[in-house]
Amino acid sequence: MKQSINILISGGGTGGHIYPAIAIANELKLRYPDANFLFVGAKDKMEMEKVPQAGYKIEGLWISGIQRKISVDNLSFPFKLGSSLLKAGKIIRKFKPDIAIGTGGFASGPTLMMANRKGIPTLIQEQNSFPGITNKLLSKKANTICVAYDNLESFFPVHKIIKTGNPVRQDLLSIYSKTAEGKDFFKLDKTKKTVLILGGSLGARRVNQLIETNLEFFKKQGIQVIWQCGKLYFNEYKKHNNLENVQVHQFINRMDFAYAASDFIISRAGASSVSELCIVGKPVVFIPSPNVSEDHQTKNAKSIADKHAAILLKESELETFPIVFETLLKDEGKQQSLAENIKELALPSATTDIVNEVEKLLKK
């Protein structure tokens, strides 16, 4: 009789795939303290660093996506895929998982494909309102598909879909009790309103350019700015730290304090950010990145804006930003309705609900 269970998890490429994978692993570890965990990621992607930092072992596959533009890199894709399928098969034979969980990203394709071939139960967690090609292919053989949005029946077999939401940081569930602490942490003037700008961990060029152009506008409106400009752009924008009421951060470690201290949020629309902002429940202006596969950020943002729960501003419309933001600033009723409506879309128990589904497969 096998003493402990072996859990294989694959997801990566971006924080939006890695952090849900780690959150699921952490919850499983609480329920099965003796379980063995192994992650599978893509070599030289951020999961190879972030997963060991979270205390888990990871193996890397030689895999990357197909470029949408014509590219020499695409010629190597069949070789990478073949190599990754072979290596994933070896990992599975050696580790003997009881279940394989995929949270999206290049490596989860070969890993779950080989798990399916070996008859191992698989669960996929789709974060976006418009699934990527990997999860669409994997869904045919997957046992369970945990989703965060409605109306995914046209992509996935309806009997496999469970709406759970996306795993989020648990420290966000109590941000309303942290407002004063958050304002102190960022040394803010408590008599002024604050806007928080989020462009993702690497940063977003167009969002950063927009904020730089509008620093004088924010000053005239008496607004304080907490600006997370990202790792790639910090050297370019840190000079604005000299300005009164503006603080530029490469990365924000205490996101709970940043959310608690802010009155308005301007953000990209990656799946994890959208899920967090639903829990935070503040007025949000989404500026989705048009440069991601399937344009899923625009679709994520639109699914929230269509419910009158956020404002969607496309990159092609950024010249209207001062009018849009000033209108919101002057309309307290609109601020309140956006905050209430987005909070209604929150699914705070997502991690627990996903792990409940994992448990059902383990018990089978």
Section 229-239 average pLDDT: 94
pLDDT in tens, 193-223: 999 999 877 789 999 999 999 999 999 999 9
Binding-site annotation: residue ranges for UDP-N-acetyl-alpha-D-glucosamine: 14-16, 128, 169, 201, 252, 297
Structure tokens at 211: 């904020």
Would you call 243 helix, strand, or coil by DSSP?
A: coil
Do residues 151 and 79 both lie within one domain?
yes
Own/partner pairs for 137-146, CB < 8 Å, 24+ apart?
Answer: 137/109, 137/113, 138/102, 138/108, 138/109, 138/112, 138/113, 141/112, 141/113, 141/116, 142/102, 142/112, 142/116, 143/361, 144/357, 144/360, 144/361, 146/353, 146/354, 146/357
Q: What percent of the chain has pLDDT over 90?
A: 76
Handedness of CA 211, 321, 343, 179 (dihedral sign): positive
pLDDT at 245 over 70: yes
Average pLDDT of the residues of the chain = 92
Which structural domain range is residue 315 located in?
170-344
In a domain, 277, yes or no: yes
> Which residues sit in the known binding site?
14-16, 128, 169, 201, 252, 297
Given a contact cutoff of 8 angstroms between Cβ atoms, the answer to whether 105 and 59 are in contact is no
Of residues 41 and 354, more confidence is placed in 354
Question: Do 31 and 66 lie in a common domain?
Answer: yes
Residue 177 located in a structural domain: yes
Check whether residue 300 and residue 352 sit in a common domain.
no
pLDDT: which is higher, 42 or 311: 311
Tokens of 179: 């407002």
Claim to verify: residue 148 and residue 217 sit in the same structural domain: no
Tell me, yes or no, whether 122 and 133 share the same domain: yes
176 and 317 both lie in a single domain: yes
Is 355 within the bounds of a domain? yes
Same domain, 88 and 37: yes
Asked whether the predicted pLDDT for residue 41 surpasses 70, the reply is yes
Select the more confidently predicted residue: 272 or 76.
272
Which range (66-75, 125-134, 251-260, 328-337) has the least confidence?
66-75
Number of structural domains the chain divides into: 2
Percent of residues, the chain, with pLDDT higher than 70:
95
Residues 277 and 177 in one domain: yes
Higher pLDDT, 122 or 60: 122
For the cut 90, the answer to whether the pLDDT of residue 339 exceeds it is yes
Q: What is the pLDDT of residue 209?
A: 97
Residue 1 covered by a domain? no
| Complete edge-to-edge strand list for the sheet that includes strand 161-163 | 58-61, 36-42, 6-10, 99-102, 122-126, 144-147, 161-163
CATH number at residue 54: 3.40.50.2000
Q: Is 188 a residue whose pLDDT tops 60? A: yes
pLDDT at 113: 95
Query: Can you tell me the mean pLDDT for 26-34?
Result: 96
Whether residue 233 sits in one domain with residue 162? no
Q: Are 20 and 125 within one domain?
A: yes
Identify whether residues 122 and 180 lie together within a single domain.
no
Is 220 within a domain? yes
For 51-85, how does the pLDDT look when each residue is reduced to its tens digit (9 = 90+)? 999 999 999 887 765 555 565 666 666 666 777 78
Question: Which neighbouring-strand residues pair with 285?
Answer: 266, 311
Q: Token match 């600006």: residue?
A: 227
Q: Is residue 11 part of a domain?
A: yes
Residue 1: pLDDT band with limits 50, 70, 90: very low
Q: Are residues 199 and 60 in the same domain?
A: no
